[in-house]
Amino acid sequence: GGARVGQGGGILLPAQRVSAGSGGQSGGQEEVTVRLGMLTNNPVIDCGLLAWFLAQLIKVILDAVLLRKLDMGRFVSSGGMPSSHSALVVACTAAIGKLYGIQGPVFALSVIMSSVVMYDACNVRRSAGDTARLVNQILAHVEKLTAEDFADDLREVMGHTPLQVLMGALLGLGVGLLV
């Protein structure tokens, strides 16, 4: 059979045979049930959190490899490849679809909300980042102002390119289908 909801809301996957690997038993087999939803007792939320975590981890690794700089602050920052917002919402949507079907209102709402989040990541937040970049350039050339007047630059990396959103969505889809 397929996945089913267990007591406490966790998802129980079909039991798989795995080798017990204990001492003198040759070829011993033990049946094990894999349980998802252990972190929050909700497999949909756990899928979303896993997708977010993986996207943020990928950002740290990409920065370390491409920029030769380990910046753990990237783990909790927004912007960059892949979009963790897209990964999170698409993982939740995929998990809802897989567990409860795609015909119900919960899946429909999840698709709409995922679309809004991804649109916002590509357009609204990216535009805000472009505006911040322009204001920072203007302030750098204003001679009357001192550095103390503007101690902190505006945050320029806020949104995502369409490719970053797509990669986050694909990551989320993969994680969501793990349920």
* The pLDDT of residue 12: 46
* The pLDDT of residue 18: 37
* The pLDDT of residue 158: 61
Q: Which of 84, 85, 106 is nearest to 95 (CA)?
A: 106
* The pLDDT of residue 33: 46
Q: Which segments of the chain have a pLDDT < 70?
A: 1-36, 125-126, 143-159
Rounded to 5 degrees, φ, ψ at 36 are: -100, 160
* The pLDDT of residue 32: 45
| C-alpha to C-alpha distance for 12 and 173, rounded to whole angstroms | 20
* The pLDDT of residue 120: 84
- For β-strands 11-12 and 35-36, DSSP reports them as antiparallel
Cα distance between the two ends of the chain? 14
* The pLDDT of residue 69: 87
| C-alpha to C-alpha distance for 123 and 45, rounded to whole angstroms | 26
